[in-house]
Each structure stands twice: as structure tokens, then as C-alpha cells.
Chain A
Amino acid sequence: GQNIDQPTEMTATEGAIVQINCTYQTSGFNGLFWYQQHAGEAPTFLSYNVLDGLEEKGRFSSFLSRSKGYSYLLLKELQMKDSASYLCAVTRNQAGTALIFGKGTTLSVSS
């Protein structure tokens, strides 16, 4: 079957580091995506992983372990504007066209 699990909510303070985990099962893996979605807005692309390992992009990093069906998004030096939902998504099949999304993790950053 196809399934994605991520925590529903997380809280953190400004300047801290937070790790948002995602575990998945899919019939044809061809990549894992992380999106950020602010309240009332559309999701925006953050990162893409297809190989095992860590991809770093400024304050955000994403890690993938294909053998474990596991990924995490690491946010460093948190800012208030990072308060948003973070969506994990994986490809549904080898063609890689369509994605299945997790329900999202709502991150609240406080001062």
C-alpha cells in the first residue's frame, strides 16, 4: 500500500533547530519532496531527495534513507516566518508523475 506518516504538530522557539520526520510506503519510489505551506496559501517547493543522504539548502536540509523509508526535514536558526505546515510527498510509481502527500506537520515558532 501507499502511506505517509508525519507528526501533526510541533512547536519550537526562535533560533532553535527542529527536525520533522516522515516515514513512507509506496509501490514505486522515484523521489521524496518537502513542501512548505503558510496558512491560506499554496504549497511551495522546498527540497527533493532521490538518493540516500543529506541535501543542504541554506537553513533547510533534507535527509533520505530509501532502505528505511524515512526522511527528515531539518530547519536551523528558526525564525517566526518558518511557522507553517510542512508537507512530505513521495512519487506514487516509477513514472514519478503523481505524488502522494502526507497530511502535513504544523510548526509553530514562538519568540
Chain B
Amino acid sequence: DVKVTQSSRYLVKRTGEKVFLECVQDMDHENMFWYRQDPGLGLRLIYFSYDVKMKEKGDIPEGYSVSREKKERFSLILESASTNQTSMYLCASSATLRAGSNTDTQYFGPGTRLTVL
């Protein structure tokens, strides 16, 4: 079974703090993703990575950065947390689409509910 784990289920931080959210997957997947999920807005892509040290901006990258030093680990960094970054953060991973394959299903971690006070 694919397993994606996130470092914390719940996190409370103060405005201005630097926040690290860690994600680890054990399926040797090339691709990893960070989303945030807010009521009425659905899942929105923050950043994704298709290889070690590679990253691509998603729809809402402002205020965030990422790090992928090892294939299994993808970190989301809030450089200076703000109250509007209070949200549920979900990490996902997927294998790279290959010729003859018909799926690059994303598998999600349990999520981190971050509250910024």
C-alpha cells in the first residue's frame, strides 16, 4: 500500500513564525504535491515537484516555498506565517506517467490542520 505521511496532524503557530511542514512517501514516487484546502474553495495547488531539487509553482505559491532534497521527502515552508494561511494542508505523491500506463493517481497524506494566531 502507498503510504504518505505528514509530520503533524495539528499545528498552531504565531504570526511571523517560520513554519515547516514535512511530507514523506514510501512508494518511490517521482512527483510530490502540496495543496491547501479551504471551505468553499476546494483543493488548491501550492507547489509540486517532479524530481529531486526540481519544483514548479502551482496556483497559489505566494508566501510559500518548498524543498525537495531527497526523493521521498517534500517540505513546505511558510517563511513568515500569516493568519490567512490558516488552512488544511495536504501532501500527495504520484508516479510519473509512462508510455503504456494509464494512470498517475495521486495518493494523499492525512493532512495538517494549521492554525496561525
Q: Which residues of A contact B (CB under 8 A)?
A: 30-31, 33, 41-45, 48, 50, 87, 89, 91, 95-104
User: Closest approach, in angstroms, between the C-beta of A54 and any C-beta of chain B?
Assistant: 16
**Contact A43 to B90, CB < 8 A, known contacts A96-B97, A101-B43:** yes
Kindly list chain B residues whose C-beta atoms are within 8 Å of the C-beta of A96. Answer: 97, 104
Q: Which 5 A-B pairs have the closest CB atoms?
A: A103-B42, A42-B108, A101-B43, A96-B97, A48-B103
Q: Footprint of A on B, CB under 8 Å?
A: 31, 33, 35, 40-45, 48, 50, 56, 58, 90, 94, 96-97, 102-111
Q: Judging by beta carbons under 8 Å apart, are B56 and A98 in contact?
A: yes
**Which residues from chain A contact B45 at a C-beta distance below 8 Å?**
98-100
Assess A87 versus B42: contact at CB under 8 Å? Given A45-B107, A95-B97. Answer: yes
Task: Identify the closest chain A residue to B108 (Cβ).
Answer: A42
State whether A97 and B105 are in contact (beta carbons under 8 Å apart), knowing that A41-B110, A103-B41 are contacts in the complex. Answer: no
CB pair A87 B102 closer than 8 Å: no
Kindly state the separation between the CA atoms of A31 and B94 in the bound complex, as whole angstroms. Answer: 14
Further contacts, 12 of them, CB under 8 A, given A48-B103, A48-B105, A99-B45: A31-B102, A31-B103, A42-B111, A50-B102, A50-B103, A87-B42, A96-B97, A96-B104, A97-B48, A102-B42, A103-B41, A103-B42
Is the CB–CB distance between B58 and A97 below 8 Å?
no
**Pick the contact of A97 from B40, B44, B94, B103 — CB < 8 Å?**
B94
Which residue in A87, A89, A97, A102 is a CB contact (below 8 Å) of B97? A97
The reply to whether B108 and A44 contact each other, CB–CB distance below 8 Å, is: yes
Establish whether residues B58 and A98, one from each chain, have CB atoms under 8 Å apart when the complex forms. yes
Q: What's the nearest-Cβ distance from chain A to residue B117, in Å?
A: 21
Once A42-B109, A42-B111, A43-B90 are accepted as A-B contacts, the answer to whether A97 and B104 lie under 8 Å apart by CB is yes
Q: Which residues of B contact A91 (CB under 8 A)?
A: 104
